[in-house]
Amino acid sequence: MPDTFKKFDTTTKRILPFILATAIFMQMLDSTILNTSLPSIAKDLNESPLNMQNAIISYVLTLAVFMPVSGFLADKFGTKKIFIFSLIVFSLGSVFCAVSQNLTQLVISRVVQGIGGSLMTPVGRLALIKTFDKSELVKAMNYAIIPALIGPVLGPLVGGYLVDYLSWHWIFLINIPIGLLGILLSIKNMPNYFSKKIKFDLKGFFIFASASLLLSTALESFGTLQNVTPVLLIFILGFLMIYFYYRHAKKTDNPIFPLNLFQVRTFRVGILGNLATRLGISAIPLLLPLMIQIAYGETAVVSGWIVAPMALTAMFGKSAVIGILDRYGYRKTLMVNTFIIGILICCLGIPGIHTSIYWFIPLIGILGFFNSIQFTAMNTISIADLRHSHTSSGNSLLAVNQQLAIGFGIALGLVILKLFENNNALIKGNIHLAFRYTFFAVGVLTILSGFVFRRLHSRDGDNMKTEH
């Protein structure tokens, strides 16, 4: 570590998790805030609410496509410059969204936002990883990850209130003060790490980006198209692009994501576990509010308040996770925790149509606690054994994987719901029953995903334990 950095080492360590937290909060808030606002925006722009889905999809796809380039840009230009640049682009994109006069302008503005968002979180996390010792990293990551739990909960709630009491433009303008705060803090406290390796694998980036784009497009389209044949073709093409990337990376000296990353067992298990477990977890913040509004006939604001306890209990999970990991280790914690999350998701399908909706509050509260433990443990074990030279590429791949997993999870939940909804012999037109069966299916899939963590060893992650 350079001597110039040591002078403000203590201040940086105190402020850096908060800087990353502002970036994660903005990104996660923007991923969900449109959900309750689309009808109002559609009416103002003279569009069908169904067409407005493009405003959500364009943002998610841009994140997935451009995240792979974040590590290279940070290594070449420095973490500080790229992080501040990403905050500026994201804030400008938010302004463009607020002044959009039609859907085309809004979609283009969301792409600008997505470009900023695709750099913010990975580059901020990279600075965190390089600043803290491994024994301190769990605690630092823990503070920064809380907004990732709060954002999806606050998004629909904040969106509903802003649209009802102000106008839909404010759901984008709310980012400006947060972005300015992040920029001011970063100018003074963000370390500027570089790397000697600055050769960029442009061909590999295009192949990997194409795979991300095709797979995301296919899954986003599954629940909306009557004819699934073209969607399946796009899906197959996406997997073909992954195979082409594998072929390309084998014969390239400096691929954007080196294949030997996957020779690190903890990284391999962490990436696969992240993808598998988040499929179920990511569907819940969308499915539960939908069920409360469609099946129970409640308002968007009420449904938002039902899921709000998830954010509060996540705080308790944050304070408990270090002690749990130190006592039980990563293997046992992740396996048992995943099983618990799967069982809780199944329990969301138990209440009948005449049961009070407030029955969901303790369930969703307990789920928030265990989600907090899950995210922190999965993220830290993934980078536990990476070599210093692989930190940037491994961190970028982890961020891309998480974003795709969230998109896949939302799409999977909607596809399962639609399959049950269209099965009249099974649900006999009872939409509430379709939701219940969907929770059972998603819960069972989540329980099964816990077996991925069997590949961990009992001593894995010991180098990440806090010093006493």
List the domain boundaries for the chain.
1-197, 201-255, 260-468
Domain 1-197, classified CATH 3.30.300.10, yes or no:
no
Closest CA to 413 of 248, 285, 237, 253: 285
Q: Is residue 109 scored above 80 in pLDDT? A: yes
Average pLDDT estimate for 214-234: 72
CB burial class (10 A; 0-12, 13-18, 19+) of residue 312?
Answer: middle
Q: What is the pLDDT of residues 329-341, one digit of tens each?
A: 888 888 899 999 9
Specify the pLDDT at position 220. 65
Closest CA to 29 of 59, 54, 65: 59
What mean pLDDT, rounded, does the chain reach?
Answer: 79
Specify the pLDDT at position 7. 39
Average pLDDT estimate for 161-172: 79
Specify the pLDDT at position 2. 41
Domain 1-197 matches domain 260-468 at the CATH topology level: yes
Specify the pLDDT at position 467. 43
Specify the pLDDT at position 1. 39
- Domain 260-468 class in CATH: mainly alpha
Specify the pLDDT at position 389. 65
CA distance 91 to 284: 29
How far from 325 is each of 77, 138, 179, 320, CA to CA, in Å? 36, 10, 33, 9
**26 pLDDT band (50/70/90 cuts)?**
confident
Specify the pLDDT at position 252. 81
CA distance 204 to 314: 38
Q: Is residue 413 scored above 60 in pLDDT? A: yes
- Dihedral Cα 336, 341, 346, 347, nearest 10 deg: 100
Specify the pLDDT at position 95. 93
**134 pLDDT band (50/70/90 cuts)?**
low
Average pLDDT estimate for 173-200: 80
Q: What is the pLDDT of residues 429-451, one digit of tens each?
A: 788 888 889 999 999 999 999 89
Closest CA to 386 of 100, 71, 140, 90: 71
CA distance 83 to 81: 6
